[in-house]
A = this chain, B = another copy of it.
Amino acid sequence: MKEKLFVVKIGGALIDDDELLNQFLEQFSEIKEKKILVHGGGKLATTLADKLGIEQKLVNGRRITDKDTLDIVAMVYAGGINKNIVAKLQQKKCKAIGFSGADANLIKAKKRKNAEIDFGFVGDVEEKSVNRKLINKLLKLSLTPVFSAITHDKKGNLLNTNADTIASVIAQSLSSKYEVELLYCFDKEGVLGDVDNPKSVIKTVSEEEFSILKEEGKLHKGILPKLENALGAVKNNVNKVFLIKETQLKNHIENHHAGTEICL
């Protein structure tokens, strides 16, 4: 039987709330099995860009990562946020080690090419982008990798990458070695059948059910990329994939029933 591995993704709202983040990291550090944390950005990068007078560039309504913006997100995500999370986990006896994808070439991305829009320094990743062999060696040293959503192109450029996708491809990549459970932690109890009713959590969402929910326009904003990445993971041999509320991590792991399970 394969060993268990949790790949846990957290997002911006949690990172912006010191107390909530601390509570979450406490629960995360108590996971006894092997584990990897992937974190998104939060508001700090935008706040900093505003203060520095760096305008957010939009082309056809799509956000562009120009060089100034890249410099900001690399500092904030791979430096400020990542190292603070690592220091807090170390305090809680979790042997955290923080990374960008450039470190040891752990995640090599392709700079996004689009005929209509130049997205700038944005990187796309897939399962084979991940340096599974080295991550596995680090896990075997009892370390807990903590990934920021900054990757590189092996041509000397850092790239801004979607954190949900990074979590998904890491989970996919390690599924040949581990029984992987991928947990998208966010501020809702799970996927809601009725966005105005926090108790309307759907217990399982299959690919077909996802298509229907999407067509009906019933999903709350921002959950689409999470569900797409979650489905991508399920399709590529990740054992279990859930969307859960951040405060429910411990409960979910101990009782196996919080949130929404994504399945085929």
Measured between alpha carbons, how far is A96 from B83 in the docked complex, in Å?
A: 18
A87, B51: Cβ atoms closer than 8 Å: no
* Chain B residues with CB below 8 A from A71, complex form: 80
If over half of A's interface residues share one DSSP class (helix, strand or loop), that class is named, otherwise mixed; here it is helix
Given A52-B51, A137-B141, A141-B137, check contact A87 B75 (CB 8 Å). Answer: no
From 221 to 239 in chain A, residues with beta carbon under 8 angstroms from any chain B beta carbon are none
Measured between alpha carbons, how far is A97 from B97 in the docked complex, in Å?
A: 11
**What's the minimum C-beta distance from A104 to chain B, rounded to whole angstroms?**
4
**Number of identical protomers:** 2
Given A76-B75, A102-B90, check contact A83 B141 (CB 8 Å). Answer: no
From 98 to 115 in chain A, residues with beta carbon under 8 angstroms from any chain B beta carbon are 98-100, 102-105
Measured CB to CB, the nearest residue on chain B to A86 is B102
B97, A83: Cβ atoms closer than 8 Å: no
Measured CB to CB, the nearest residue on chain B to A157 is B87
Measured CB to CB, the nearest residue on chain B to A150 is B83
As a 0/1 sequence over residues 9 to 41 of chain A, the CB contacts with chain B under 8 angstroms (1 = contact) are 000000000000000000000000000000000
Measured CB to CB, the nearest residue on chain B to A143 is B104
Tally of chain A residues near chain B (CB < 8 A): 40
A156, B97: Cβ atoms closer than 8 Å: no
* Chain B residues with CB below 8 A from A137, complex form: 141
As a 0/1 sequence over residues 45 to 75 of chain A, the CB contacts with chain B under 8 angstroms (1 = contact) are 0001001100000000000000000010011
A155 at the interface (CB under 8 A from B): yes
Given A51-B52, A75-B75, check contact A156 B87 (CB 8 Å). Answer: yes
Measured between alpha carbons, how far is A80 from B52 in the docked complex, in Å?
A: 16
A83, B74: Cβ atoms closer than 8 Å: yes
Which of B75, B86, B155 touches A80 (beta carbons < 8 Å)?
A: B75
A103, B86: Cβ atoms closer than 8 Å: yes
B105, A95: Cβ atoms closer than 8 Å: yes
Given A100-B98, A141-B137, check contact A83 B78 (CB 8 Å). Answer: yes
Measured between alpha carbons, how far is A49 from B156 in the docked complex, in Å?
A: 27
A139 at the interface (CB under 8 A from B): no
A75, B86: Cβ atoms closer than 8 Å: no
Known: A86-B100, A91-B155. 6 other contacts (CB 8 A): A74-B80, A74-B83, A79-B82, A83-B158, A87-B102, A90-B152
15 sampled A-B residue pairs with Cβ under 8 A: A51-B51, A74-B83, A75-B75, A77-B79, A79-B80, A79-B83, A83-B103, A86-B102, A87-B158, A95-B105, A96-B102, A97-B103, A97-B104, A98-B100, A98-B103
